[in-house]
With several copies, the nearest count.
Chain A
Amino acid sequence: MYNDKVIEIFKNPKNIGELKDANAIGTIGNASCGDIMQVYLKIENNIIVDAKFKTFGCAAAIAASSVATEMIIGKTIEEALSLKNADVVAELGGLPAQKIHCSVLAEEAIQAAIKDYKEKNNG
């Protein structure tokens, strides 16, 4: 079902936990559907300098959270916003069809966090 890379990342996910000094938090999904993804970002001068996550979900959701946070660290907000779920899937070396939605959650959680940041800073 999962490829070795997904398994490996699930086994040792990066960027787990809360970011104490986050200035952007995005949460997507709900527990009754079996998936919640929460992304914490620290943004400085339009650059994502750190990212962490907390995820309630399956192995794919956890692996997607891990690679998605890794992929946006060091990127500009605009670059992070352009991250698509397909990029996450590609980075994972593929996901089973019924797990693609986990990569969508990762994309959406990042977008939600950036939206949160923009609202706090511009709104």
Chain B
Amino acid sequence: MKVYLDNSATTPLNPYVLEAMLPFYTEKFGNAASIHSFGREANRAVSDAREIIAECINSRPSEIYFTSGGTESDNWALKGAVSVSKNKNKHIITTLIEHPAILNTCAELEKQNVKVTYLKPSKEGIINIKNLSESITEDTILSTIMFANNEIGTIQPIKEAAAICRDFGVLFHTDAVQAMDSQKIDVKDLGVDMLSMSAHKFHGPKGIGVLFLKTGSRLGKLINGGEQERGLRAGTTPTPLIVGMAKALEISNRDREINNERILRLRNRFIDMVLSEIPYAYLNGCRDSRLPNNANFSFAFIEGESILMRLDLAGIAVSSGSACASGSLEASHVILSLGVKEELAHSTIRFSLGVDTTEQQMDYVFNVLKKTVDDLRKMSPLYDYEKGIGSYV
């Protein structure tokens, strides 16, 4: 049996999305910047896509800027805000649990003498808004807090954070890459100035994202060149990807309630089974303010990648830490920031369910997981298998 439980890394393309894209890969191949009929045809499709996306998030079409993905959107938001700021000293506030697209951009900006404050989450994986307001100084130009965390799925109080930033005249950006599929996003209601998304996280194509940029917000360019995207993001418009992204978001919006309900039930049942039947299994992040499809556990005494590989051998795709961090030897910065000890952080597995996940699949996964944990503990020097307890060397 093949079971894909890594929907936070990427999602399968919706067949209707592919269907919408295909004409732009065949006869409608024009460059959207061209004046002739081939170009106008592409241009119309891009305009329509922009309107669809705007409608989905309650923005204006002119506030939607297409990028190559969530990473570029994040880079652009941060670097663009810094490059356009006239402040002598520049200060950014973010959190310890952001995606590397934010954290490594902050590290880059720190090299350029931007000061960065990293807010620590609670043990439950939620940022305390009070810490945000206390961190704002007269130098603060931007605060960026992710909508939902990619590893543990915790949902942050974005509306409250945006309100505080607005009061202080500080720009507010949110990385909503993980949130778009399951959360209803209304940028007006949220009051954010900028918001990043990436199509492949909601059954759209890879290589396309959006930065929502509120009318009136100024932002330096990340990529200079032609006059595409109202002159703010150069490069030949990738029409098929844009059409696909719009279609995917439209479908996601339409089916959100019904998918969320089903996935949440499967997810909660799985968490209950794991916590009650696998000893020394810990759920990372709170259970309530959390994406409906995310379950992230640490299984004490055994290492995450070997769990992942065992599940993989049984056809089950999961992630240990974030996909990006895999292959590195460091424990997840997100799990560590919750106060989880390093050895336990190394024992972490993320299950991210999707629209295709079934109860039967989850039963299968549970059984394989239970046996895997059992088998690996038998060979763990940290676990006394006879006694069923941990014994650190």
Direct contact of A and B (CB under 8 A): yes
> How far does the Cβ of B319 sit from chain A's closest Cβ, in whole Å?
14
Q: How many A-B residue pairs have CB under 8 A?
A: 75
- Complex: A30 Cα to B301 Cα, angstroms: 12
Q: Give the residues in chain B near A34, CB-CB below 8 Å.
A: 303, 329, 331, 343, 346
| Interchain nearest-CB distance for B231 vs A (Å) | 12
B328, B343, B378 — which one has the most chain A CB atoms within 10 A of its CB? B343
> For the complex, is B324 an interface residue (Cβ under 8 Å from A)?
no
Judge whether A57 and B342 touch: CB under 8 Å. Answer: no
Asked if B382 is at the interface (CB within 8 A of a chain A CB), the reply is: yes
Question: Which residues of chain B (30-66) have a CB below 8 Å from chain A?
Answer: 35, 40, 43
Asked if B382 and A36 sit within 8 Å, CB to CB, the answer is yes
Number of contacting residues on A, CB 8 A?
A: 29
Name the B residues within 8 Å of A56 (CB-CB). 301-303, 343, 380-382
Closest A residue to B34 by beta carbon equals A1
Interface status of B327 (Cβ within 8 A of chain A): yes
* A54 contacts B306, C-beta separation under 8 Å: no
Report the minimum CB–CB distance from A30 to chain B (whole Å).
8
Q: B229 interface residue, CB < 8 Å from A?
A: no
In the complex formed, the residue of B with least CB distance to A27 is B393
Give the segment of A5-13, A73-81, A114-122 that binds chain B.
A5-13
Q: How many Å from the CB of A121 to the closest CB on chain B?
A: 22
Complex CA distance for A56 and B310, rounded to whole angstroms: 14
**Shortest distance in angstroms between A61's beta carbon and chain B's nearest beta carbon?**
8
Interface size bracket, B side: 20 to 34
A42→B379 CA distance, assembly (Å): 18
- Shortest beta-carbon distance from A3 to chain B in Å: 11
Chain A residues near B301 (CB, 8 Å)?
Answer: 56
Whether A7 and B313, one on each chain, are in contact in the complex, defined by CB atoms closer than 8 angstroms, is: yes
Contact B329 A16 (CB under 8 A): no
**Once the chains bind, are B380 and A1 in contact (CB under 8 Å)?**
no
CB–CB A11/B313 < 8 A: yes
Q: Which residues of B contact A17 (CB under 8 A)?
A: 378-379, 385
- A53: chain B residues at CB < 8 Å are 379
Q: Measured between C-beta atoms, what is the minimum distance from A1 to chain B in Å?
A: 6
- The winner among A1, A55, A62 for most chain B CB atoms within 10 A is A1
Contact A54 B313, beta carbon cutoff 8 Å: no
- A-side contacts of B341, CB under 8 Å: 32
B124 contacts across to A, CB distance below 8 A:
none
Q: Could you pull out 20 A-B pairs where Cβ atoms are within 8 angstroms?
A: A1-B327, A10-B309, A16-B378, A17-B378, A27-B393, A30-B343, A31-B343, A31-B382, A32-B331, A33-B329, A38-B381, A54-B380, A56-B343, A57-B306, A58-B309, A59-B305, A59-B306, A62-B379, A98-B328, A101-B329
Top-10 shortest CB links A-B: A31-B343, A32-B342, A54-B381, A58-B305, A38-B381, A34-B346, A59-B309, A16-B379, A56-B380, A57-B303
